[in-house]
């Protein structure tokens, strides 16, 4: 994978955790790598939580996967993403059990399109989501993600 390229997942942006107490905690945890690197400001985390509270669970894209995000002006300084993988799912809304949380930050509405294509390559099939959730290490997760993205790009 290319270093410092937001279109690729790095182990530093991947968090494995057994469980969290709430979807709010999940959002705070998944955003930490981006906050630590100055990719987002703290207010971006608050905006993501507020979006879920106001707009509901629309951030649940496919079964088991949520992608919290907010508007660029809410504190996204660069385009990048991070992922939280949970052993035990957390409830988003009243009915969505989520084990894979992808935090998307973009400082430009157009800049994130290529990144979204790569993220969609990870979650566009249930078998891929299950494979990622079954990964035992960050290295295995990243290797699977690279494979799924490469396969998707070869099909285009």
The three-class DSSP label of residue 3 is: coil
Catalytic residue among 7, 13, 69, 112: 69
Distance, in Å, from the CA atom of 137 to the CA atom of 14, rounded to the nearest integer, reads: 10
Q: Is 112 an annotated catalytic residue?
A: no
Angle in degrees, 0-180, between the axes of helices 113-123 and 126-133, rounded to the nearest 10 = 80
Distance, in Å, from the CA atom of 139 to the CA atom of 14, rounded to the nearest integer, reads: 10
Cα 135-136-139 angle, rounded to 5 deg: 80
Q: Which two tokens stand for residue 18?
A: 């057994």
28 Cβ contact list (under 8 Å, min separation 6): 45, 49
Supply the residues annotated as catalytic: 69
């Amino acid at each position: 994978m290319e270093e410092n390229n937001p279109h690729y997942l790095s182990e530093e942006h991947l968090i494995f955790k057994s469980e969290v107490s709430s979807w709010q905690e999940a959002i705070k945890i998944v955003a930490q790598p981006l906050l630590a690197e100055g990719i987002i400001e703290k207010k971006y985390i608050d905006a993501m939580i507020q979006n879920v509270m106001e707009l509901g669970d629309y951030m649940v894209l496919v079964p088991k996967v949520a992608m919290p995000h907010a508007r660029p002006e809410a504190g996204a300084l660069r385009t990048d993403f991070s992922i939280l993988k949970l052993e035990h799912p957390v409830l988003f809304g009243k009915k969505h059990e989520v084990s894979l949380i992808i935090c998307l930050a973009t400082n430009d509405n157009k800049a994130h399109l290529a990144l979204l294509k790569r993220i969609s390559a990870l979650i566009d099939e249930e078998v891929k989501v299950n494979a990622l959730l079954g990964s035992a290490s960050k290295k295995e997760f990243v290797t699977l993600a690279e494979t799924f993205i490469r396969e998707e790009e070869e099909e285009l």
